[in-house]
Structure 1
Amino acid sequence: MRTATQTSPLHPALAGLALSGALAWAAMSLGNIGWLQDHGFSALTVAIVLGIVLGNTIYPRLGASCGEGVRFSKQTLLRAGIILYGFRLTFQDIAHVGLAGVVIDAAMLLSTFGLAWLVGTKVLKLDRDAALLIGAGSSICGAAAVMATEPVLRARSEQVTVAVSTVVIFGSLAIFLYPLLHTLQAEPAWGLRLPDFGVYIGSTVHEVAQVLAAARSIDQHTADVAVITKMVRVMMLAPFLLMLSMKAAPTTSGHQHQHNKLSIPWFAFAFIGVVVFNSFFPLPAALNQLLLQADTLMLAMAMAALGLSTHLSALRSAGIKPMILGAVLFAWLVVGGALVNGALGRLLA
Structure 2
Amino acid sequence: MQVKKYIPGISLSLLLAMIASLIANISYIKHLGLSSIVIAIILGLLIGNSVYPKLSHYCYVGVDFSKGKILRLAIILFGIKLTFQDIALVGYQGILIDILMVVSTFLLTMWMGIKLFHLDQDSVILIGSGCSICGAAAVIATESTINTNPEKVTIAVAIVVIFGTLAMFIYPFFYAYIATHFAISDSYFGIYIGSTIHEVAQVVAAGNAISEPAVETAVISKMLRVLLLAPFLFVLSAYLIKNQQGNSQKRKLVIPWFAIGFLLMACLNSLNILPKQFVSIIIMLDNILLTMAMAALGLTSHYSAFQKAGIKPLLLGFFIFVWLIIGGAAINVAVNAAL
Query: What TM-score does the superposition give when structure 1 sets the normalisation length?
Result: 0.93
Deviations, residues 4-55 of structure 1 (Å, cap 9, x unaligned): xxx9x43331000000000001111111111111111000000000000000
CA shift, 1:257, in A, is 3.9
CA distance in 2, matches of 1:72, 1:253: 33
**1:293 partner amino acid:** M
CA distance in 1, matches of 2:273, 2:211: 29
1:51-130 matched pairs, under 5 angstroms? 51-130=44-123
Q: Does 1:336 align with 2:327?
A: yes
Partner of residue 175, structure 1: 168
CA distance in 2, matches of 1:100, 1:47: 36
Partner of residue 204, structure 2: 212
From 233, 241, 251, the equivalent of 1:241 is 233
Indicate how the Cα distance of structure 1 residues 251 and 60 shifts in structure 2: closer, same or farther if over 3 A, else same.
farther
CA shift, 1:192, in A, is 8.9
- Secondary structure of 1:185's counterpart equals helix
CA distance in 1, matches of 2:239, 2:273: 34
Contact 1:193/1:342 (CA < 8 Å) preserved in 2?
A: no
From 308, 311, 317, the equivalent of 1:326 is 317
- Secondary structure of 1:334's counterpart equals helix
**2:48 partner amino acid:** G
**2:68 partner amino acid:** Q
Q: Does 1:201 align with 2:193?
A: yes
Partner of residue 224, structure 1: 216
CA shift, 1:252, in A, is 10
**1:165 partner amino acid:** A
CA distance in 2, matches of 1:26, 1:256: 41
Indicate how the Cα distance of structure 1 residues 59 and 106 shifts in structure 2: closer, same or farther if over 3 A, else same.
same
From 275, 279, 284, the equivalent of 2:266 is 275
From 281, 287, 295, the equivalent of 2:278 is 287
Partner of residue 5, structure 2: 12
CA distance in 1, matches of 2:246, 2:312: 23
**2:102 partner amino acid:** L
Partner of residue 3, structure 1: none
CA shift, 1:256, in A, is 5.8
CA distance in 1, matches of 2:240, 2:24: 35
Partner of residue 4, structure 1: none
Partner of residue 296, structure 1: 287
Contact 1:11/1:65 (CA < 8 Å) preserved in 2?
A: no
Partner of residue 29, structure 2: 36
- Secondary structure of 2:319's counterpart equals helix
**1:326 partner amino acid:** G
CA distance in 1, matches of 2:180, 2:274: 46
Partner of residue 144, structure 2: 151
From 3, 14, 26, the equivalent of 2:19 is 26
Contact 1:152/1:245 (CA < 8 Å) preserved in 2?
A: yes
CA shift, 1:323, in A, is 0.3
Name stretches of at least 5 consecutive residues in structure 2 with no aligned partner: none
* Identity of matched residues, %: 46
Deviations, residues 278-330 of structure 1 (Å, cap 9, x unaligned): 11143111111110011001100000000000010111111000001100110
Contact 1:246/1:264 (CA < 8 Å) preserved in 2?
A: no
Query: What TM-score does the superposition give when structure 2 sets the normalisation length?
Result: 0.96
**1:118 partner amino acid:** W
Structure 1 outlier segments of 4+, above 6 Å: none
Indicate how the Cα distance of structure 1 residues 256 and 67 shifts in structure 2: closer, same or farther if over 3 A, else same.
closer
Decide which moves more: 97-106 or 280-289: 280-289
**1:206 partner amino acid:** H
Contact 1:157/1:309 (CA < 8 Å) preserved in 2?
A: yes
Name stretches of at least 5 consecutive residues in structure 1 with no aligned partner: 1-6
Decide which moves more: 136-145 or 250-259: 250-259
**2:39 partner amino acid:** V
Deviations, residues 178-215 of structure 1 (Å, cap 9, x unaligned): 00100111344xx7958810000000000000000011
Indicate the RMSD between aligned Cα atoms, in angstroms: 1.8
CA shift, 1:253, in A, is 10
Count of aligned pairs: 337
Contact 1:12/1:64 (CA < 8 Å) preserved in 2?
A: no
CA distance in 1, matches of 2:244, 2:323: 30
CA shift, 1:143, in A, is 0.2
CA distance in 2, matches of 1:273, 1:168: 29
